[in-house]
Amino acid sequence: MYLKSLSIKNYRKYGKEVQTINFAHSKWPEIPEDEDETEKINITEEYISKSSSLIVGKNNSGKSTIVKLLNTLQNSKSGSRSVFKHTDFNLKILSDWYHENIDNKSEEEIKSINKSHFPKLEFQLILGIDDGNDLISSFEDILILSGIETVETHENQEIAEVTIDVKYEVVDEVAFLEDLVKIKTSYSNDSQQYDELYKKELQYRQFLALFSSNYFVLNFYPIGREEPAKEFSLSSLLKVDTIEANTVKNDKTLSQAYNKIVSTYIKNNDIEEINSLVGGINYQVKGMIDANIKDILQSAVSSIESIKNLKMNLHPDVTLEKIFANSIIYEYQEGNNNIPESQFGMGYTNLMVIIAKIVDYIELYSEKDINGSVNILCIEEPESFMHPQMQELFIKNISKAIATLLGKKQQLDTFQIIITTHSTHILNSKIQSGNTLNNISYLGQAGVNNIIKNISDDAIVSGRDIDNKAYEYIKKYLRLEVSDIFFADAVILVEGVSEETYLRYEIDKHPILKNHHIKVYRIDGAYAHQFISLLDLLEIKTVIFTDMDLKRKEKDEEGKKIDILSYNINDLNIQYANSTECLTTNSTLQYFIKKELNDENAKYDKINPKLIEMLTDKDELVIICENISMYSQGKINGYYATSFEEAIVLTNSINEDKKKYKKSLIKLLQKVHPKMKYFEDIDENSKLADKSYMYQVKLSDGKSKFSTGIVYLSVTDEDFSIKQPQYIESGLNSLCDYFEE
């Protein structure tokens, strides 16, 4: 049995829209007993990677909320009160409900509020039954029996699932309504003591207090039933253990952890030799007491009271648990020296404590307990104190530990691991170990509320404009570029190094944008659109800056390419009206034009007219698709720019503001190629715009110098000033608008 999903509504920062988080199936693979140890570890690593659930998100995105909720529900019984407080409700929902139903309503209107409209917390758990050996006794309650539904058998051999609806709701409708009326009428005679604003605040605080009262009970509902189950508890079904973030409490953290492991092992194993030794110790101590101490004490007592009334027996109570309770000291062996744990780095200690707690978790349960219930181990933010390389190896390290344990404990059929993290390195570790994005839950925000996005290979590829080969590229790119896309406030995709350097500089000095985590990815124009499916799924605000990349190769009558246009283009109709090829070579641009046409199979005969229509006499091309916006160059200073460099040249070649921008442009060009005569000869009177494309060609081998030159001169030269091309300015402004909203 395992936990398939948890749905949440109205809980904390989760709003009215139901948010569902899916969890990985944990059917342990069959490993032959005679399998090589190295191969066992490899199998285990792949299993941990594929079957563990990773919850990722920025701070305050609700990761710990999920773990806390699971811990709360596992101990819940039907009819329990005071399970949650008003702070566990979505406070905006409570505020809106109060102003809608109480603040501006009469007493009679308040009394007529239907119970079904009262605020409540709602959850749903779906449990998968994947083995006929699961303890069916857990389902004897009427709630569970009515909740079982058979499902199609799939690769995980699932035979059924159980749905459990949970509501934290008002149980005494009449009394609750009476208190709502009292709140409305409170302080009515205190108008002189309190001003109206303060009186309303006090009334609202009284309202909030109701949600921490005994009016609310926790109810479990069978599917399709309006009446809750009278007696039911999740405690027999759900066993959740949590390894909290920052496990390093003191200089004896490791010793305490391993003392616990030893004690647990002793409880679960009958060690005859040690038991005999402990019995012998008790016997010897008993003999020593009786021979040397008992008589002395008895005589002393007898002098006060009759021996008949105070006859004593002193019996030693030495046990294995007491012996080992604090007898283990953890040390690190370095050569011939034993190093105390107080000298360990905190990252190493944190990792070892996590492994120790995993050991204790596995040793704690009998095989019957593990296979008969949902067993979940939550590891919260294990990256604390770990350097990046240790984080990258985290999955591998715990896999080795678990592989070793399972070799002695046999296999645990349903042992689920849930890891919460905001570490890109741990995220990378999981993606690359299993070569998949399955079982990753992204926690983000939509307005003031948290949202949950369940990431999987199928969710990214299915029904989207991406093939499997392109998807493999995405997974590899995430590895190479570090997957902090999951933790960014917004994402910018650019063509190459020039745009990347320039935009990072512009963002860093922007009064609004510099206060947000904006990830700039350098992706060739041919591949930017391959990321759309992932970005669309995550609903992350994304701006794409891509080049126009006008096709410049001409053909003769036989269709052979004979020449490359060396001149600027000022009229798309003249140049491309009769073209039998797409006027742009940019795949990303083609992708968005197809989106605009609502025709994914559109060819040049549809793409070209649409592009010409959208670009005629426009200084930029903008296409917006929900959270993703694409920006490209247009007609600047009389000519169509084909690249970032050409857009910079055209934008700054005009004679305005005392030629400030033109002078700065000349400085930049001459810095990139100080010995090239082509740039040495230009001056303030040169018609730079007319030769913008040729400048771009000459700059092709110095693209990185171009953007670096902009940054360098901007910092070191007070007179240097470059104007942003319009398409870049518009894209950055759209991010500002997004953050201000």
- Is-contact 707 501, C-beta < 8 A? yes
Q: Where are the beta strands (DSSP E) in 130-192?
A: 148-150, 160-170
Q: Which stretches of the chain drop beneath a pLDDT of 50?
A: 133, 135-138, 140, 142-143, 145-146, 153-157, 368
Tokens linked to 367: 């095989």
Beta-carbon contacts of residue 98 (< 8 Å; ≥ 6 apart) = 204, 207
Strand bridging mode 148-150 / 160-170: antiparallel
Dihedrals φ, ψ of 497, to 5°? Answer: -65, -35
Nearest to 731 by CA among 494, 536, 533, 525: 494
Q: What is the pLDDT of residue 574?
A: 86
Q: How distant, in Å, are the alpha carbons of 102, 105, 129, 459, 732 from that of 626?
A: 37, 39, 39, 18, 16
Q: How many CA atoms lie within 13 A of 21 on its CB side?
A: 28
According to the model, what pLDDT value does residue 58 have? Answer: 86
pTM exceeds cut of 0.85: no
User: How many Cβ atoms sit within 10 Å of the Cβ of residue 456?
Assistant: 16
Distance separating alpha carbons of residues 268 and 364, to the nearest angstrom? 8
Give the pLDDT score at 29: 67
DSSP per-residue letters across 412-441 = -TBEEEEEEE--HHHHHHHHHHHTS-TTEE
- Stated as kind and residue range, the H or E segment containing 561 is strand 561-564
- The pLDDT, as a whole number, for residue 365 is 61
pLDDT for the residue numbered 290 = 73
